[in-house]
Amino acid sequence: MATIEDFYGSVRNELQSIKDAGLFKTERVITSPQSGRISTEDGKQVVNLCANNYLGLSSHPEVLAAAHEALSARGFGLSSVRFICGTQDLHKQLERRLSQFLGTEDTILYGSAFDANGGLFETLLGADDAIISDALNHASIIDGIRLSKAKRFRYQHDDLDDLRRQLEAADAAGARFKLVFTDGVFSMDGTIARLDQIRAICDEFGALLGIDECHASGFLGARGRGTHEYRGVFGKIDIITGTLGKALGGASGGFTSARAEVVALLRQRSCPYLFSNTVAPAIVGATLKVLDLLEADTSLRDQLEANAQYFRAGLEAAGFDLKPGNHPIIPVMVYDSVRAQQLSQRLLELGVYVVGFFYPVVPQGQARIRVQVGAQHTREQLDAALAAFAQAGKELGITQ
Ligand SMILES: *Cc1c(COP(=O)(O)O)cnc(C)c1O
């Protein structure tokens, strides 16, 4: 019989095998607020190009002031789930405002987008139904789908012919309701899902369409409403999930936005909503301010777009091989995982914080540095980062 000590030994072995495979993740410690330039534990100041802080709102003075105000007026936390005593006027206001912003009927808040996705599929679909999911969808979508009893179909990433084949297969399997679900933006490549075409295919098959807007809400599209706006299908998506933890302030919290009856059923049955604490008042108050800022004008998303274009052009001029695209996620392709790590290491020495991604997060031989530009980056910061990239690229023989 195995002992308790055997269990701990087995956990240590698992950790060692992660290390042996070169896949052990360490956490760098930051000692300043999130911003265009941050301080690290060794007292260095570095340009930060790896936060999801797309609009620079994580430390925006008006957002901080709104958080302080809500903290003073409504308290630190509610010590309750929503349906007992965890709902304040602010929560209801935020749900209304998010619905207006996203072009939907109603919205339900969750502790995170991971929870929103985790509590979605099981609640809405049963064994007679089918979910058709992009192969590269986020882990939280995959987990959420696993929890449901619906039949599962997976189409190859961004492959609309295969989407059609999988919808045919779902019909052949006798599925009652069909839900196609995709990331609006895929975070490793910055690929923007072709929602106009996907919507048309869904209509042909009588399928619902759901999207995860974590890397889009707040800045994609002319008014920053998201991928549906960018692709010309605003108001035509059945279910939108998203996060408050990226562009919309960067603290934490998530949501599902949809038709009123869908949201009503989620409030009755969705486990991460029923059995997990309400979003803290300071976050809710601050997010209301974020929506005020984004609805008042498009200056932040415009600045982000300009910064992303500037940085992309600069990296290209320096001879780097980039995945083409139109999103502030800029994948700098290095291909080899050791060289990707060397490049990120050298860049850190030169004052630029970026992270290398390699297998299994991306396919074998597709190692890269994922740059994420934000509206908060000044020209001076972007130029300093471009100079560092140019130098490190040459030193390591990645560029000529
Ligand atoms: C970040 C992310 C999530 C998780 O968001 P949290 O609110 O941090 O849980 C879910 N889906 C996608 C596509 C994401 O990028």
Give the residue-averaged pLDDT of 386-394: 98
Taking the centre of ligand 1 as the mean of its atom positions, its distance from the CA of residue 136, in whole angstroms, is: 14
The residue whose CB lies within 8 Å of the most ligand 1 atoms, and thus the one to mutate among 58, 181, 243, is 243
Taking the centre of ligand 1 as the mean of its atom positions, its distance from the CA of residue 174, in whole angstroms, is: 32
Give the residue-averaged pLDDT of 125-149: 98
Torsion of CA 226, 230, 236, 239, to 10 degrees: -30
The average confidence (pLDDT) of the chain is: 97
Nearest by Cα to 329 from 359, 287, 299, 362: 362
Contact 213, 241 (CB under 8 A): yes
Which pLDDT band, with edges at 50, 70 and 90, does 360 fall under? confident
pLDDT 10s digits, 303-347 = 999 999 999 999 999 999 999 999 999 999 999 988 999 999 999
Positive or negative, the CA dihedral 122, 127, 130, 136 is positive
Distance in Å from the first CA to the final CA of the chain? 61
Q: Which residues of 17-28 are buried (b: 16+ CB within 10 A; e: fewer)?
A: eeeeeeeeeeee
Q: Does the annotation count 178 as an active-site position? A: no
Strands 352-353 and 45-48: parallel
Atom of ligand 1 nearest to the CA of 52: 1
Helix axes 337-349, 379-395, angle to 10 degrees: 130
Tokens 């471009």: give the residue.
386
pLDDT 10s digits, 63-82 = 999 999 999 999 999 999 99
Q: Does the annotation count 377 as an active-site position? A: no
**What are the tokens at 233?**
């299908």
Give whole-number Cα distances, 78 to 64, 86, 98, 345, in Å. Answer: 20, 5, 21, 43
Single-letter code of the amino acid located at 202 = C
Q: What is the pLDDT of residue 182?
A: 98
Contact 178, 155 (CB under 8 A): no
Which residues contact residue 274 at a Cβ distance below 8 angstroms, ignoring those fewer than 6 apart?
81, 83
User: Which residue among 35, 112, 187, 337 is the active-site one?
Assistant: 187
Give the residue-averaged pLDDT of 190-205: 98
pLDDT 10s digits, 278-297 = 999 999 999 999 999 999 99
Give whole-number Cα distances, 6 to 3, 19, 20, 323, in Å. Answer: 5, 20, 21, 46
pLDDT of 156 over the 90 cut: yes
pLDDT 10s digits, 21-79 = 877 888 989 999 999 999 999 899 999 999 999 999 999 999 999 999 999 999 999 99
Atom of ligand 1 nearest to the CA of 186: 13
Nearest by Cα to 114 from 258, 253, 266: 253
**DSSP state letters, 93-142:** HHHHHHHHHHT-SEEEEES-HHHHHHTTHHHH--TT-EEEEETT--HHHH
Contact 229, 192 (CB under 8 A): no
Give the residue-averaged pLDDT of 261-270: 98
Contact 206, 175 (CB under 8 A): no
Q: What is the pLDDT of residue 161?
A: 98
Taking the centre of ligand 1 as the mean of its atom positions, its distance from the CA of residue 218, in whole angstroms, is: 14
